Amino acid sequence: MKNRYKIIREDYEFKKDGHRMTQKELATIFKKRGYASLTHEAIRKIETNNRTVYKHEMQGYIEVFNTTSDYLLGFSDEPSRDMNKINAGNVTGLNGAAIETLSKMRAGNDTDAFFETLNYLIGKDFTLFTELIDAIRLYFDESYNTPMLVTKEQFEPINNIDNTICDIGNSINIGKYDKKLCNNAGGYRVIGLPVSLVRESYSMYTVQHILEELKNKKESDT
């Protein structure tokens, strides 16, 4: 896990000039607030996992960054103490950054059309929406890059892609290795893609197809 103390400092920005808070600047803030033990050197060691953060020092981080001990200790991925954000995250599964983006957009001007479209995409058809998100996820997930072959009712990676292409039902099977599968013995998570399309083009095709279907549904509703 990445060092949460470093992350929360680097993600914090002064509003006046927009630069990242340095370790030295943070030490000055801590000193003014009565946390003199959190010196520049102490912060440097904390951020490189070479120093323990004591209970009263953690309180300093909580005060300065409006965060929680659960976040700093790695028990939560939500750094904010804003209960509205926390509750929204618990209900939707969205992280704090996503909720903040939507909140800013909601507070802007002329956003009704945006949220009308967003609500339609999410609420109109559960199956189509999940397929849409899966297609977008696949577009970004470059780890699905291993051609797979079915042998004896199980999937095996094709070691020589130049000489062997698995074509089953007009699709090729590609997989991603997951060491947690098969009781931690390791195995491949497998998906099938059309032979004529590579991962990205397949994803874009799927997105376009789903949006077209949702568009037709919207037109039929009016």
Q: Is the model more confident about 205 or about 168?
A: 205
The pLDDT tens digits for 126-138 are 999 999 999 998 8
Q: What is the pLDDT of residue 194?
A: 58
208: which residues sit within 8 A by CB, 6+ positions away? none
> Is pLDDT above 90 for 51?
yes
- In terms of pTM, does the model score above 0.85? no
Q: What is the average per-residue pLDDT within 35-61? A: 96
Q: How confident is the model at residue 19 (pLDDT cuts 50, 70, 90)?
A: low
How far apart are the two ends of the chain, measured CA to CA in Å?
50
Please state, in angstroms and as integers, the Cα–Cα distance from residue 14 to each residue in 20, 35, 59, following that order: 7, 20, 21
Q: Rounded mean pLDDT of the chain?
A: 83
Chain center to CA of 18: 24
Other C-beta atoms closer than 10 Å to the C-beta of 73 total: 12
Distance (Å, rounded) from C-alpha 163 to C-alpha 111?
A: 53
Query: In the chain, where does DSSP find H-type helix?
Result: 4-11, 23-32, 40-47, 55-65, 69-72, 83-92, 96-107, 112-123, 126-140, 181-184, 199-221
51: which residues sit within 8 A by CB, 6+ positions away? 42, 45
Strand ranges across the sheet with 187-194: 154-157, 146-151, 171-178, 187-194
Q: What is the pLDDT of residue 58?
A: 95
Distance (Å, rounded) from C-alpha 109 to C-alpha 117?
A: 16
Other C-beta atoms closer than 10 Å to the C-beta of 33 total: 13
The pLDDT tens digits for 180-215 are 888 888 888 887 765 546 678 888 889 999 999 998
Distance (Å, rounded) from C-alpha 75 to C-alpha 41?
A: 26
Q: Which of 69-78, 98-107, 115-124, 142-151 has the lowest average pLDDT? A: 142-151
